[in-house]
Amino acid sequence: MADSPLADPAQPLSVLTSLPPLWPDENMRPAIRAEVLSRNETIVAIDDDPTGTQTVHHVPVLTTWAVPDLVAELERREPLFYILTNSRALTERNAVALARELGTNLSTASHVVNRPVVLLSRSDSTLRGHFPAETDALMSAWPRRPDGVLLAPYFREGGRYTIADVHYVQDGLQLLPAAQTEFARDPVFGYHHSRLPEWVEEKSGGRWLAGQVLSLSIECIRGAGPEGVAARLQEVHDGRPVVVNAAHDRDLEVVVAGLLQAEKAGKVFLARCAASFVKVRAGISDQGLLSPAKLLLGTHGGGLIVVGSHVPRTTRQLRALLSMGGWRAIELNVERVLDRASAPAYIADLAAQVEMALAAEGNVVLFTTRTLLTGETSAENLAIGEQVSSALVECVSTIRTRPRFLLAKGGITSSDLATKALGVRRAEVLGQIAPGVPVWELGPESRWPGLLYIIFPGNVGSDETLAAVAASLSAAPTVPEQHSVSS
């Protein structure tokens, strides 16, 4: 194992052009889609926070997984839907219990509807999350134990690439090994290795040694094509992890085409993946970015942005937004929220400020203090995050004025607002307003039916992206109806 995150050097972005040429078939996605549809099965992406919908369009998202809800969704016979669990906000123990429950319920619903289900465990492209605990739990609840677990954190829209088994995060004109980034210092999900076999050994506590992790190399993918990938996957057994190297969407297309061949031959795989793999596995076509001018926004109220993410990139983006002007800045002081005696009155006062600004049709950004408060353990850190998120939920829940749109910054923040403040049970992903930034249209059961809900991950975009999205939404034309539909 590598002894230090510095063991893997940064690479210039130009390294992408020095790789072997892409597999020559440029039209693989339609063939993948046709194969997926011919199988009469449903792909279920189990998402540990709502940012995983950042590559797809016209796909439903559920926030509940009771058997009757899953049966109803499977009866629609769509090729793909998401289930939002928000398990990244849970302790590992609770995340494992949730994954087992979900796996059991999906297996039951699949049997009731007589429709096969393919599981994808969608998680963070910067390697944060409950791995391998969640995939272990899902596999233990499934009728047949998968032959392998595909590790596919490649995510083009966010500048995440896996080359020679090292996972990189783009930073300007260079590629940083993931363990050298701010994300690897996460107080709950931090790690020390960028090379994925060593990362697996680290995260599994040595249950899987680095030498036991298999790999689909760039050279195999681009040189041997789907047949070579299929042959390699035929060798996988006993739930072994398999690193999926990828530096282009076509690399994933080759892998998925080979995966489909291996599945036809009887192999079963679970994927632990970022958002790009979900799109390709379902054969979903690429769609251009949604223009705010073509999204129907209501006429009343201002726009509302809620920022809970604390990663440095979000802080820089928030700073750029506030320097732009035109937004009422309301800060939620985390220390005051953690004071349980005075917190209720403090939160009520903040909510009243937000309400007053929205009612006057002003734009509001509600954000947490930027100094990160941490506890002694991961459990304490999660508990602090839960209290802060609950305060944001309470603020939004108290608001009576429907905003023209609501943008949530951060995975846990956007999940809790959706389920607890907005009452979302089912929504539709319309597409993306910026690379990696999905737009949901809320369902009729929600608090504000038809509201455009923009989910902005904490680790996506340049320093200026949040300000640019906010400016374009604020300038978008309005329509008489209070329901938003993509045109």
CATH of the domain at 44: 3.40.50.10840
What is the pLDDT at residue 236? 97
Residues 220 and 327 reside in one and the same domain:
no
Q: Which amino acid is at 417?
A: L
Together in a domain, 277 and 319: no
What per-residue confidence (pLDDT) applies to 444?
Answer: 95
* Separation between Cα atoms, residue 469 and residue 365, nearest integer Å: 13
* Domain finish residue from 252, 281, 310: 281
Same domain, 273 and 329: no
C-beta separation of 84 from 62 below 8 A = yes
Output the pLDDT for position 382.
Answer: 76
pLDDT at 330: 95
Q: Are residues 269 and 298 in the same domain?
A: no
Nearby residues of 19 by Cβ (< 8 Å), 6 or more positions away: 163, 218, 222, 247
- Return the pLDDT at 89: 84
- For the chain, list residues with pLDDT below 70: 1-6, 296, 298-300, 478-487
**Type of residue found at 309:** S
Same domain, 321 and 462: yes
Is 287 part of any domain? no
Longest CA pairwise span in the chain (Å): 64
**Same domain, yes or no: 265 and 204:** yes
Indicate the residue among 219, 246, 281 that finishes a domain.
281
What's the confidence (pLDDT) of residue 4?
Answer: 61
Last residue in a domain, options 281, 308, 328: 281
pLDDT, tens only, 371-418: 777 777 877 877 777 888 899 999 999 999 999 999 999 888 898 999
Question: Can you tell me the distance from the alpha carbon of 25 to that of 277, in angstroms, rounded to the nearest whole number?
Answer: 18
Total domains in the chain come to 2
Instruction: Please tell me whether residue 177 adopts helix, strand or coil conformation.
Output: strand
Residue 190 sits in the same domain as residue 296: no
Per the domain annotation, does 349 fall within a domain? Answer: yes
Q: Are residues 140 and 117 in the same domain?
A: yes
The Cα–Cα gap between 250 and 23 comes to 7
Question: Domain for residue 466, yes or no?
Answer: yes
Inside any domain, residue 486: no
Asked if residue 480 belongs to a domain, the reply is no
| Phi, then psi, of 392 in degrees rounded to 5 | -65, -40
- 84: in domain: yes
Q: Which long-range contacts (CB under 8 A, 24 or more apart) does 478-483 make?
A: 478/297, 478/298, 478/299, 478/404, 479/296, 479/297, 479/298, 479/299, 480/299, 481/296, 481/298, 481/450, 482/298, 482/299, 482/300, 482/402, 482/448, 482/450, 483/296, 483/298, 483/449, 483/450
- Looking at the fold, whether 101 and 223 belong to one and the same domain comes out as yes
Alpha carbon of residue 114 to chain centroid = 29
Q: Please report whether residue 413 resides in a domain.
A: yes
Instruction: Look at residue 483 and tell me if it is in a domain.
Output: no
Alpha carbon 428 to chain centroid, angstroms: 15
Instruction: Indicate which CATH number applies to the domain containing 306.
Output: 3.40.980.20
**Domain of 56?**
5-281
Residue type, 252: L
- Helices 218-234, 249-264: inter-axial angle, 10-degree rounding: 10
Rounded Cα distance, 439 and 448, in Å: 15
In this structure, the answer to whether residues 263 and 367 fall within a common structural domain is: no
Note the pLDDT of residue 21: 98
Cβ pair 102, 10 in contact under 8 A: no
Residues present in the chain in total: 487
261 and 296 within one domain: no
**What pLDDT does 481 receive?**
45
Give yes or no: residues 36 and 97 share one domain: yes
